[in-house]
Amino acid sequence: MDNYSDIKQSEKGAWLSLLAYIVLSAVKLLIGTYSGSQALLADGLNNSTDIIASIAILIGLRISRRPPDSNHSYGHFRAETVAALIASFIMVAVGFQVLYQGVNKFIQPVLETPDLIAAWTAAGSAAVMVIVYRYNIRLARRLNSNAMQAVAQDNRSDALVSMGAFTGILGSQFGLPWLDPVTAVIVGLLICKTAGDIFSKATHDLTDGFDAGQLELMKQTVAGIAGVESIKDIKARVHGNNVLVDTTVLVKPSLNVVQSHDITEEIEDQLKGQYKVSNVHVHIEPV
């Protein structure tokens, strides 16, 4: 039940991001249009699609809370990873759109200098997103949530984007109007980069990928447990915010059932305590 409680806590962070994006996107699009800032408009467009991505994350988290059924014996935890994957698709589409608009604005013969209010709007937005990012990244690390990791990465990207927009708009006030659309292009590249990172992590988890270094540490821990003669096999995979481990260990054939069971219990306790593993399946074989 702890895993379901963790997912419910993750929803709080997703809701915080959603509300922040709704407010900031409205403010940026209005002031960006008023001030004539392409960079701020690009930033606002990014936040507007972040609303869709946040909704997708919330839906994924809600589905993840469903208990196991006849078709999902391990539960629905991977729904949050699927939601993160969908969010990456949305983000990369926006990134390409922002890139197109920034390049198109740059090649125009007349480049306008945005009103200074756009710069302060971008700076204020960056400060808000830094606060949201710090909250969500702590939540993601504490709960070991893929979905919240994606949300936090998006928050950090948005903070950097707003900082870049602030720099570009401020620079245009000093006779460098081309700096604003150039910053919009950089914004687009940052969005695409973040989308790529989220996509890579989500697909890695969905295809049962697992960090080799972390698996080696688990193997060393199991090998050091009293009664374990050697390890025949050990595998791990990520299932939403859960880590599942399967291992086959060799023990002395003279051990009875109770002694062998005690070894399996110690393996489970060590892996769950040290590596936050949710489920451990141990198979015992004689040497």
Q: What mean pLDDT comes out for the span 142-168?
A: 83
Q: What mean pLDDT comes out for the span 138-167?
A: 83
Q: What mean pLDDT comes out for the span 269-276?
A: 90
Q: What residue numbers bound the domain in which 7 lies? A: 2-206
The last residue of a domain, from among 206, 241, 257: 206
* Side chain identity, residue 257: V
Q: What mean pLDDT comes out for the span 112-116?
A: 71
pTM above 0.85, yes or no: no
User: Does 248 lie in the same domain as 151?
Assistant: no
**pLDDT tens digit sequence for 160-217:** 888 888 887 888 777 777 777 787 788 788 888 888 988 998 898 888 889 899 999 9
- What is the C-alpha to C-alpha distance for residues 81 and 67, in angstroms, rounded to an integer? 17
CATH of residue 197's domain is: 1.20.1510.10
User: Does 202 lie in the same domain as 91?
Assistant: yes
Total domains, the chain: 2
CATH of residue 219's domain is: 3.30.70.1350
- DSSP run (H or E) holding 279: strand 279-286
Residues in the chain: 287
Query: What pLDDT is recorded for position 34?
Result: 85
Is pLDDT of 110 > 70? no
User: Does 276 lie in the same domain as 183?
Assistant: no
Question: Where does 65-176 have alpha helices with state H?
Answer: 79-106, 116-143, 146-172
User: Does 258 lie in the same domain as 196?
Assistant: no
**pLDDT tens digit sequence for 31-71:** 988 887 777 887 888 788 788 888 888 888 888 878 888 78
